[in-house]
Amino acid sequence: MKQIRRNSRSGFTLLEILLVVIIIGMLVGVAVVNLAPKVGESKITATRDQIHNYESALDLYQLDNGILPSTEQGLQALVAMPSGTPAPGNWKGPYLKPPIIKKDQWNRDFKYVSPGVHNTSSYDIYSAGPDGQEGNEDDIGNWQ
């Protein structure tokens, strides 16, 4: 009986595997470089959306009570009846669903000031933005 001999090689060489790994690494690197700015933009957009949610809740609070929460009462007045002055006369909260005061996209508290510095006839709600420093160009507020 005659034995058949195969001359074809099977599998990949180490060099071929290394080339494929290098090419995949380069593709991933290009994708990360192109997507990194989008992550920052999406955090800013999500922070603006949360500020709009707080504005809507504060509008309802003001409709029910005829006043806005003070700076000291803060956004917490939207989820629990505030104490102190000004006392809400007709609190029907919580005004947020779920009744949670969320943090901004950088895991910091939103700031609430009433009357506002920028909106002197109402209130300011803002995030200190990516750098966490208040008063910089990257602050995200309801006056923008």
More confident: 30 or 117 = 117
Q: Is 76 inside a domain boundary?
A: yes
Range of the domain at 36: 17-141
What strands lie across the sheet with 140-141, from one edge to the other? Answer: 111-113, 124-127, 140-141
Cα(132)–Cα(136) distance, rounded to whole angstroms? 9
- Residue 136 vs residue 82, higher pLDDT: 82
Q: What does pTM read for this prediction?
A: 0.73
pLDDT per position as a tens digit, 50-59: 999 999 999 9
Is residue 1 situated within a structural domain? no
Per the domain annotation, does 3 fall within a domain? no
With a cut of 90, say whether residue 8 has pLDDT above it.
no
Instruction: Report if residue 12 sits inside a domain.
Output: no
What's 115's domain CATH number? Answer: 3.30.700.10
Q: Does 10 reside within a domain?
A: no
Q: Which of 96, 131, 126 is nearest to 111 (CA)?
A: 126
Query: Rounded distance, CA 58 to CA 64, Å?
Result: 10
Number of domains composing the chain? 1
Residue 123 has pLDDT above 90, yes or no: yes
Residue 27 belongs to a domain:
yes
Kindly state whether residue 132 falls inside one of the protein's structural domains.
yes
Residue 107, domain member (yes or no): yes
Three-state DSSP state, 6: coil
CA distance 69 to 65: 9
